[in-house]
Structure 1
Amino acid sequence: MPSDAVLYQAAALCLTYPDDDFVARLPLLREAAPQLREFSDYAAATPPCELAEHYVRVFGLGHRHGLYLSRWNNGCIGRRGKSLDRFEDVYREHGLEFSCEELPDFLPAVLECTARTGSTELLTEHRDALEGLRSRLTEFGTPYASVLDAVCATLPTA
């Protein structure tokens, strides 16, 4: 398991819809991943309904902050097939079966895979997408940008 495994798992939690489970885990997240303190402080100080509304404003359909990594390079789903297959192949290579309700390139799923396997290959392969998302989140002025800052800081530079 990589030294950043806890960070990747915590980042995956931060980037999923903030439901009751997220709120319940927030104290543990704040303690386990100090690199995410900016976001976790924001989340702890924000009422759950406002946090959920903010998530939808940032990541909802039609917004420019998509959490699907292959979309950054390939656009619509029709052209993403090979890329999506690549994600599933990497999961299988590491003995993981992708059974999420989301597509396999959903960033929280990729982060969880990285935490479990120690392999940063999918994150590294999609570094440009991560940087693009990080940049747009920063421009948007959302605390979610700090989560991408922390993840990108763990990856080798191009």
Structure 2
Amino acid sequence: MSPLPSPGAARPGGPPSLPALVRTRVRAAVRRPSRLTPEETAGRSLILRLVSLLLQYPDAELTEGRSELTGVVQALPGTSAAKHLARFTDWFTAQHPEALERHYVEMFDLRRKSGLYLTYYLHGDTRRRGMALLALNQRYKAGGWNSDRGELPDHLPVVLEFAALVGPGGGEAPLRQHRRGLELIHQALTDADSPYRHVLAALLTLLPPPTEADRAAVARLVAEGPPNEDVGLDPYGTYGDGEFAPPGTFAPPTAAPPTCVPPVPTSRMEGPR
């Protein structure tokens, strides 16, 4: 089920169909203003929305709308992003739904280097990650957008939907901030020969070129993976010889005297007769 509902597109008594979602979002993208030309704004917003949809779990609703999604992609101007998306939708349309589900789970749920939760690549499972998630939620609220869609705010499809709605500048800032994580996901998908690499490649064409520092950081991520799980330690600094808190703060309690256990009666030791 898509976590990005669109008002006015619901079927009576049920969730909105994917074709209705696509049509509504195409119209919204065409209408949305930005600092770019209207044509550039519409194309950029539509690419972001398509990438957001294609990176969601391929449930029945999404797979039922594959032909319309393919038609939308084929109608895009012949940009590099559009060519990448066309390569993906060619594969996506030809696969059996169960095969799509298995491949998605393998790529995005079972691999540390290609998960879709962006703050993990920057902070690992640390307290800083919690603060980064809070900051993202605050950014969404400041932009007048409710991000309570059943996913963490750093889930890439959610971040992409916000970017499409708000536009270049503030809307795409989280994508630029997590450029290295996006590069790592793309590299991992490429190494796995997954067609989803084309979806990430389409997204990366919209971002500024990576710097030398970005390339070096991505190389380290490829070699070492995301940060180790060090919840509560490094994000807040250490004291002395690696102590998390000042010496004596967490002094262990005095050991209690041993408990006296009464002897077991001989009759109990003999067992049932």
1:35-74 to structure 2, matched below 5 A, reads: 35=82, 36-74=85-123
Return the match for 2:53 from 2, 6, 13: 13
Could you tell me how far apart the structure 1 residues matched to 2:181 and 2:116 are? 9
2:73 alignment counterpart = 33
* Residue 136, structure 1, aligned to residue 176, structure 2: no
2:136 alignment counterpart = 87
Cα gap change, 1:151 to 1:62, in 2 (>3 Å): closer
Could you tell me how far apart the structure 1 residues matched to 2:44 and 2:196 are? 18
Could you tell me how far apart the structure 1 residues matched to 2:175 and 2:112 are? 22
Mean Cα displacement is larger for which, 92-101 or 56-65? 56-65
Give the drift of 1:139.
Answer: 0.8
Judging by fraction of residues, say which structure has more helix: 1
Cα gap change, 1:153 to 1:8, in 2 (>3 Å): same
Could you tell me how far apart the structure 2 residues matched to 1:97 and 1:5 are? 18
Partner of 1:33, secondary structure, is helix
The one-letter code sitting in structure 2 at the alignment partner of 1:97 is N
Could you tell me how far apart the structure 1 residues matched to 2:151 and 2:137 are? 12
User: Kindly, what percent of the aligned residue pairs are identical?
Assistant: 34
Cα gap change, 1:143 to 1:124, in 2 (>3 Å): same
Partner of 1:64, secondary structure, is helix
Unaligned runs of 5+ in 1: none
CA contact (8 A) 1:69 1:107 kept: yes
Give the drift of 1:111.
Answer: 0.7
Give the drift of 1:90.
Answer: 1.7
CA contact (8 A) 1:12 1:112 kept: yes
The one-letter code sitting in structure 1 at the alignment partner of 2:198 is S
TM-score in terms of structure 1 length: 0.93
The one-letter code sitting in structure 2 at the alignment partner of 1:32 is V
Give the drift of 1:87.
Answer: 1.2
1:22 alignment counterpart = 62
Could you tell me how far apart the structure 1 residues matched to 2:194 and 2:117 are? 18
Could you tell me how far apart the structure 1 residues matched to 2:105 and 2:136 are? 25
Give CA-to-partner distance per residue, 1:27-61, whole Å, 9 cap, x none. 22212234211111111000000000100111114
The one-letter code sitting in structure 2 at the alignment partner of 1:23 is T
Give the drift of 1:24.
Answer: 2.0
Partner of 1:72, secondary structure, is helix
